[in-house]
Amino acid sequence: MTLGKMRKRSIRLFVFFMALLVIIISRLFYWQVVRGNQMKEAAERQQTNQTAINARRGTIYDRNQNVLAESATVNTVVCNPQQIEKDCRDEEGNVRKSDLRLIASTLAEILNLNEDDVFDKITKENKFQYIKKRVTVEEADAIKKLKDSSVDKQTAKLFSGVYFEEDSKRYYQYNLASHIIGFTGYDNDGMQGIEMTFNNYLSGRAGTVLSARNAGGTTAEKQYEADIDAQKGDDIVLTIDETIQSILEKYLEQACVENVLKEGACGIIMNPKTGEILAMATKPDFDLNDPTALAQYEKFAIGMDDVIAKTKSENTEERNEAIAQIRNKMWRNKAISDTYEPGSTFKILTAAIALEEGAADLNSQFYCSGSKQVADRKIKCHKVAGHGAEDFARGVINSCNVVFMELGLRIGSEKFQEYFKAFGLTKKTGIELIGESGSVYYKNRMSETDIATSSFGQGFSITPIQLITAISAVINGGNLMRPQIVKEIRNAGGIVKSFYPQVENKVISEQTSATMRNILERVVADPNGTGKNAYIKGYRIGGKTGTSEKGRNNGKRIASFVGFAPADDPQIICLVMLDEPQVANKYGGTIAAPLVGSIIEETLEYMGIDRQYTEAEAQSVSVTVPDVREQSVNSAKEMIAAKGLNIKVSGNGETVMDQLPKPGVSVAENSTIIVYTQERDENKKVTVPNLEGLTAEQAKKRLADAGLNFEVGGAGLAAAEGAYAFRQSIPEGTLVEPATVVSVEFRHSSSD
């Protein structure tokens, strides 16, 4: 071989080995660097056992730190199929299937599971299987007894591969505000409401325990590689008040039954100055602690008997479809998800726009003949006979459609749409809840007919949360506030995030706002006002009625009322919507107004806001019955007369031994106190008469004739013409003691 050939061969060998070296280095680089982390993780998986530690979910509080939702530790039953198989082998190493069946049948019976499903889990070819999550204390105790070797060593050995893991279960102490709070699924993730919206904050961070495994695959004792503690979720503090929420829900449930509401009801109570939601509810609703159950919904579901019946059908497909239909309805938050034509409640905005733009003032005069010709249409007022001559304020008090059509036409298409946007009605409010709907409104130039019908709340659809937010701007000085339902997010380290009142827009002036507050108070306080059924003695309430159609010419209605108080300095505003009442009188002024009046009364009493009686009201304020027992008859007469009360003496003695009503009871002025100068016959009773449909004077006389005392209760201007007794506190036919006070609620028929 020549020297040249040897040199060429050496070069080729060198190149070959260099190429081989490059390949080796490249592969090492690829496995060590490019896929280094991946290979490291794979090695760790092979060499370690990894156990997840569930994080405890954060707590949800109301504004006063009352716990609305919290997590508690519960047991989850799990198993190691490989350990179970090992424990079920006989001396020859064969698996005793009879033992496996015994384990499966025993667990299935205790945990109320299917035996075959349990058998499949305990015979899987792995080391971990869930049997049942969140077992009861009784179920856990029964399994612990099986594992107790001091009771039965052989049984304990068979069940040594069955053990417990700690888990957490969500509990809702008050079981209210279900559509606000929402609920969690089996994996503890939020499924609805705040639980879902703020799931990332509430869920916390799971912990892990990594333990080394030996070559046989079993855990090596005391060779832990890492231990990462679980981190509890953050707590959420809401703006709602548990007591106010309870008040709202109580009256909405009453409304569902009393008015036979086919599509339920919803209500919102808000601080109009800050936008904070104090209460929000939809009825029927669901049980937070058992959100898939239908029982709580069915209790107040009206007109769904056919669907409810199908939930018990033997046809699986039909049954599942009916259950899904009901769950979709009962989980839906009408207050933010349902759009509707607001009807006359929207007149508050039209009136405010007209004043702000100078389209009218308090001296503006109008005439209502019962209808108005607009373009090619003749549009009627709700009072077909007409209201006659009226000024601006009277037009609002009467809720006259003709006046509002005229105002709308004066405002014009451009300005009307400009304010529609300014009041936040063209977009979602941004409340911190998932599922909010947007509005359906005119996006192009409006015709005269469009303006006329829109002026009194028809032809477009908005949500209750949009409407109450817009009306709050009218009464709070003109500021459109962003509705707020969360105050802060916090944890053990302090406040994570705070939420503050946020002004979205300045819509009208303080002067216009003050004028509107005054007019809307007259809507309730005036004997001829459409909102007089919301009147509460001693509280200055402003508001507006609303009755709107669902579709056209089908008889379906939505009755609503929005009220606020105190009228001169609003602290709360309340909107209630009653969907498809199945009663003769479907008007908001008749069925929604008294509801809101009662809600406002209880809420203001709870908030400690004192009543401000007018001079006329002060003369009819209830008085407290004095204690005249052991007094002389003459002295008793003087004490009772001093309170503005009447006295009836039973017996011929000189000293009072007993009295009815008892001391401390509140009664109306001119009520009668019976004093006994001899031992009272406790078996002597009187029968409560039927007062339905009577005027206040008639009801008072009928009760007096029966030896009973009369009191005006609930909402409603009882002294106004046309008021009739709607409800009495003690049912007709009840036997009661003489002089018992019967409270009577009065209502007025309304056409708005």
- Residues forming the active site: 344
The DSSP result for 716-727, as a single string, is S-TTSTT-EEEE
Is residue 400 within 8 A of residue 381, CB to CB? The reply is yes
Q: Which residues is 72 bridged to in the sheet?
A: 169
Spell out the residues 6+ positions from residue 696 whose beta carbon is closer than 8 angstroms to its own: 712, 718, 719, 723, 725, 744, 746
DSSP 8-state secondary structure symbol assigned to residue 486: E
Instruction: Give the integer Cα–Cα distance in Å for 533 and 746.
Output: 8
Is residue 495 within 8 A of residue 489, CB to CB? The reply is yes
Spell out the residues 6+ positions from residue 669 whose beta carbon is closer than 8 angstroms to its own: 619, 620, 621, 622, 623, 644, 645
Instruction: Give the integer Cα–Cα distance in Å for 315 and 682.
Output: 60
Instruction: Give the integer Cα–Cα distance in Å for 579 and 261.
Output: 6
Vertex 206: Cα angle to 63 and 120 (nearest 5): 120
3 state SS for 583-618: CCCCCHHHHCHHHHHHHHHHHHHHHCCCCCCCHHHH
Buried b (16+ CB within 10 A) or exposed e, 158-167: bbbbbbbeeb
Backbone angles phi, psi at 472, to 5 degrees: -60, -35
Task: Return the H-helix or E-strand segment holding 73.
Answer: strand 67-79
Instruction: Give the integer Cα–Cα distance in Å for 597 and 248.
Output: 11
Q: Among 427, 611, 393, 610, which residue's Cα sits nearest to residue 517?
A: 393
Question: How many alpha carbons lie under 13 Å from residue 267 in its C-beta half-sphere?
Answer: 35
Instruction: Give the integer Cα–Cα distance in Å for 368 and 383.
Output: 9
The tokens describing 445, both together, are 């130039």
Which amino acid, one-letter code, is at 729? Answer: S
Cα–Cα distance list, 146 to 74, 125, 566 (Å): 19, 24, 65
Backbone angles phi, psi at 216, to 5 degrees: -80, -5
The tokens describing 524, both together, are 């309730």
